[in-house]
């Protein structure tokens, strides 16, 4: 069967190709988003992948296998491969066959078939976590709720957790109608949808899961909206002390909570209050685990949940009776532990595509440019003679990047932009700060100095800021419209997501955002940049590749001189 009028090509490797220019594109895209993961979305063909996790997320939302199959047949250009059809039915049929249910003062593992219960009971990874067979199922050993969910997922049997959550210490709070500064406040439609999807009407199926929204789309406000639903003591976990302070500022600015109800638990302060904001780092240390018992928490919020460190995973496995909300811009984890997020924090409850929110004006439009630079003969010789592990740093710290950064910065300052120069290596960043006469913010910068420099940047007093990896997480600079990445962490798509997110807040004057990645040509850095740039295409961003300098003799149709690129920024150029 073949129908050229249909937009999808479903392949036997479980990938799905969607023609972006097709009249049925939007209908097919909205359908796929319910059960498949978007892998890449360049201009003409978007690629999705059907995975067990994506199907289990869909099953949790109420989607049926017959609906998935019928939709693929409706939109598919070719006949649906038999192995794909079979796998969809098989995977989705597994979700819900095992459940955790409350039983007296404990929890039981229930199955819809005694033979299935016997099968999983006998597995060596599962049996140590269970106790004797009871009238309603197999009793779960005390404190093993999270570990059992992890073990079952790893053997291909996801379990629905309907055992409920502790209510926690009651805490009355609400969202303000206006911020302290007088700005009108209200949840946007997609933010309210995210809150409602997580809460699920207060049913047992709600109260644990992950909300995926782009940086700049207001994940913090979703967290505050969930807190207003839960109405209980809340522990908020963040990546850094700076993020802790930003959460506290948001709590006091946008909710009815008073300063005496919000505590900071960091290396400097150890305050436990009805709402306590702490860092992952400090909670990962054994001497501070008592924080989990310091209050009767009704909700735990995991900011940037894709960065959840291993010690906090272990801790989370032991607090499954608490409601858990994960907030993130991407579920990508370089360690491949997306399954642990699914089992311990909860399934994905809501996901808003970056480009869709950009089209609606909730985040800024962005252009992305990779600038390739040559190394001098001396630098190239040092690179060639270096050990493999040293080559990446030599390429990343290519001195030719300094004049390129100066040119880009000068162009954008002339347009009234605020510019972030972001890198990994402190010696390089120090040289750039001196060349640009701009302040430098690193992890070693005193917190008071850091916050002063950020205020100066927001006010325009300092239009250029050179920052280290501290910029990757929770740096709230909505005024930034340009980011120049001079060095990064190998092929990290997480890092690219965070750095791009620094400039995606919509600008009051509607100006677009610009993201530049500077890369030394024909080096290991260029090889790694392919992986980082993959994130941009996954999110639907087109990017141009340009070469620094005026000599275009080596152009091969994919690069243009930077000088020409600067002149063509507003009129478009060759995209990849």
pLDDT of residue 480: 82
Are domains 189-352 and 361-568 of this chain identical in fold? yes
> What is the reported pLDDT for 264?
94
Best CA proximity match to 164, nearest among 74, 101, 243, 224 = 101
Helix (H, G, I), strand (E, B) or coil at 572: coil
Beta pairing partners, 482: 419, 514
Whole-number Cα distances in Å, 89 to 8, 116, 155, 298, 512 = 20, 17, 18, 37, 44
| Cβ 249 vs Cβ 220: under 8 Å | no
* Structure confidence at residue 133 (pLDDT): 78
Beta bridge partners of residue 18, listed in sequence order: 8, 46
323-328 and 208-212 strand pairing = parallel
Four-CA torsion 37, 352, 198, 221, nearest 10 degrees: 140
Q: What top-level class would CATH report for the domain 189-352? A: alpha beta
The CA distance from 266 to 243, in Å, is 11
Q: Which fold has domain 361-568?
A: Rossmann fold (3.40.50)
DSSP 480-543: --EEEE---STT-HHHHHHHHHTT-SPPTT-PPEEEEEEEETTSHHHHHHHHHHHHHHHTT--E
Q: Could you tell me the pTM of the whole model?
A: 0.76
Distance CA 230, CA 165 (A): 11
**Please, are residues 347 and 210 in contact by the beta-carbon 8 Å criterion?**
yes
Q: Distance (Å, rounded) from C-alpha 38 to C-alpha 33? A: 8
Report which secondary-structure segment, H or E, holds 227. Answer: helix 219-230
Using DSSP, state whether 149 is helix, strand or coil: helix
CB neighbour class for 370 (10 Å; exposed up to 12, middle 13-18, buried from 19): buried
Q: Which residues pair with 323 in a beta bridge?
A: 299
CB 367 within 8 A of CB 514: yes
8 Å CB contact between 51 and 87 = no
DSSP letter (8 states) at residue 49 = E
pLDDT in tens, the chain (576 residues): 566 789 999 999 999 999 988 999 888 988 888 898 877 666 678 888 999 998 998 888 788 999 999 999 999 999 999 999 999 999 999 998 999 999 888 899 999 999 999 999 999 999 999 988 777 789 998 889 999 999 999 999 999 999 989 999 999 999 998 888 788 888 999 999 999 999 988 887 789 999 988 777 889 999 999 999 999 999 999 988 878 988 999 999 999 999 999 999 988 888 999 999 998 888 777 777 788 888 899 999 999 887 777 778 888 888 888 999 999 877 767 677 788 888 899 998 888 777 778 778 887 777 788 889 999 999 999 999 998 878 988 998 999 999 999 999 998 998 888 899 998 889 999 999 999 999 999 878 888 888 898 889 888 899 999 998 765 554 566 678 898 989 876 545 555 566 666 666 766 777 888 888 899 988 888 877 766 666 665 555 666 788 876 443 333 334 445 555 444 443 333 333
Q: For residues 78-112, b (16+ Cβ closer than 10 Å) or e, as one string?
A: eebbeebbebbeebbebbebbbbbebeeebbbbbe
Q: Which of 528, 152, 217 is nearest to 355 (CA)?
A: 217
What's the Cα-to-Cα distance from 202 to each of 205, 297, 457, rounded to whole Å?
A: 8, 16, 42
Pick from 460, 482, 457, 463: nearest CA to 569: 482
Going by C-alpha positions, the residue among 570, 572, 503 that lies closest to residue 536 is 503
Q: What is the pLDDT of residue 477?
A: 66
DSSP SS3 for 91:
helix
Q: Where are the domains of the chain?
A: 8-94, 99-161, 189-352, 361-568
The answer to whether the CB of 535 falls within 8 A of the CB of 496 is yes
- Measure the CA–CA gap between 230 and 169, rounded to whole angstroms: 10
Partnered with residue 485 across adjacent β-strands are 422, 517
Dist. CA 374–CA 551, nearest whole Å: 11
Q: What angle do CA 400, 402, 403 make, to 5 degrees?
A: 80
CB 547 within 8 A of CB 555: yes
- Closest-CA residue to 400 (of 562, 218, 215): 562
Taking the C-alpha atoms of residue 433 and residue 427, their distance in angstroms, rounded to an integer, is 10
3-state secondary structure of 519: strand
């Amino acid at each position: 069967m073949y129908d050229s009028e249909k937009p999808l090509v479903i392949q036997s490797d479980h990938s799905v190709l969607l023609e972006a220019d097709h009249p049925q594109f939007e209908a097919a895209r909205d359908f796929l988003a319910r059960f498949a993961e978007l892998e890449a979305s360049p201009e003409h063909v978007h690629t999705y992948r059907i995975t067990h996790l994506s199907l289990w997320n869909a099953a949790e939302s109420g989607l049926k296998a017959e609906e998935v199959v019928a939709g693929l047949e409706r939109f598919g250009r070719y006949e649906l491969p038999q192995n794909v059809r079979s796998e969809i039915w098989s995977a989705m049929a597994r979700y819900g066959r095992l459940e955790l249910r409350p039983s007296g003062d404990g929890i039981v593992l229930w199955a819809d078939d005694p033979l299935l219960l016997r099968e999983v009971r006998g597995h060596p990874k599962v049996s140590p976590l269970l106790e004797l067979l009871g009238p309603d199922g197999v009793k779960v050993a005390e404190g093993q709720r999270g570990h059992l969910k992890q073990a079952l997922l790893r053997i291909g049997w996801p379990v629905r957790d309907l055992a409920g959550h502790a209510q926690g210490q009651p805490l009355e709070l609400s969202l303000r109608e206006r911020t302290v500064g007088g700005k009108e406040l209200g949840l946007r439609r997609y933010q309210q949808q995210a809150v409602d999807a997580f809460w699920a009407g207060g049913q047992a199926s709600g109260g644990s899961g992950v909300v995926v929204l782009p940086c700049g789309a207001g994940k913090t406000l979703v967290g505050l909206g969930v807190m207003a639903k839960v109405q209980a003591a809340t522990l908020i976990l963040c990546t850094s002390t700076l993020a802790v302070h930003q959460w506290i500022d948001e709590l006091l600015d946008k909710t009815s909570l008073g300063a005496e109800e919000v505590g900071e638990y960091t290396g400097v302060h150890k305050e436990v209050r009805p709402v306590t904001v702490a860092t992952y780092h400090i909670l990962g240390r054994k001497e501070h685990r008592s924080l989990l018992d310091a209050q009767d928490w009704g909700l735990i919020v995991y900011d940037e949940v894709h960065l959840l460190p291993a010690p906090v995973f272990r801790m989370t496995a032991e607090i499954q009776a608490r409601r858990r909300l994960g907030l993130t811009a991407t579920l990508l984890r370089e360690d491949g532990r997306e399954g642990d997020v699914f089992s311990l924090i909860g399934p994905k409850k809501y996901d808003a595509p970056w480009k869709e929110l950009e089209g609606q004006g909730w985040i800024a439009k962005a252009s992305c440019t990779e600038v390739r630079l040559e190394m001098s003969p001396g630098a190239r010789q040092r690179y060639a003679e270096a050990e493999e592990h040293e080559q990446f740093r030599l390429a990343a710290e290519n001195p030719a990047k300094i004049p390129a950064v100066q040119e880009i910065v000068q162009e954008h300052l002339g347009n009234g932009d605020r510019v972030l120069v972001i890198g990994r290596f402190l010696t390089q960043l120090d040289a750039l700060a001196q060349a640009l006469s701009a302040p430098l913010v690193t992890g070693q910068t005193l917190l008071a100095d850091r916050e002063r420099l950020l205020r100066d940047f927001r006010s325009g007093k300092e239009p250029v800021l050179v920052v280290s990896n501290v910029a990757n997480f929770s740096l709230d600079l909505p005024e930034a419209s340009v980011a120049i990445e001079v060095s990064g962490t190998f092929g990290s798509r997480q890092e690219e997501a965070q750095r791009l997110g620094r400039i995606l807040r919509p600008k009051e004057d509607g100006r677009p955002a610009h993201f530049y990645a500077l890369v030394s040509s024909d080096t290991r850095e260029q090889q790694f940049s392919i992986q980082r740039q993959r994130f941009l295409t996954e999110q639907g961003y087109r990017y141009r590749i340009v070469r620094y300098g005026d000599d275009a003799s080596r152009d091969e149709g994919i690069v243009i001189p930077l000088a020409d690129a600067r002149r063509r920024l507003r009129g478009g150029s060759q995209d990849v």
